[in-house]
Amino acid sequence: MAISQKIGTAKILVIDDEPQITEIVEAFLSNAGHQVFVNNVANEGLKRAKQVKPDIILLDIMMPGTDGYGVCNDLKNDPATANIPVVFLTGKDRNDDMGRSFKVGGDMFIKKPFSCERLLEIVNIILMSTGKK
**What pLDDT does residue 112 have?**
86
Q: Where are the domains of the chain?
A: 11-130
Report pLDDT digits (tens) over 20-75: 999 999 999 999 999 999 999 999 999 999 999 999 999 999 999 899 999 999 99
Reported as a pLDDT band with limits 50, 70 and 90, residue 8 is low
pLDDT at 2: 39
Residue 82 predicted with pLDDT over 60: yes
Residue 5 has pLDDT above 80, yes or no: no
Is the torsion defined by CA of 118, 107, 83, 37 positive or negative? negative
Q: Which residues pair with 13 in a beta bridge?
A: 37, 57
List the CATH code of the domain at 11-130: 3.40.50.2300
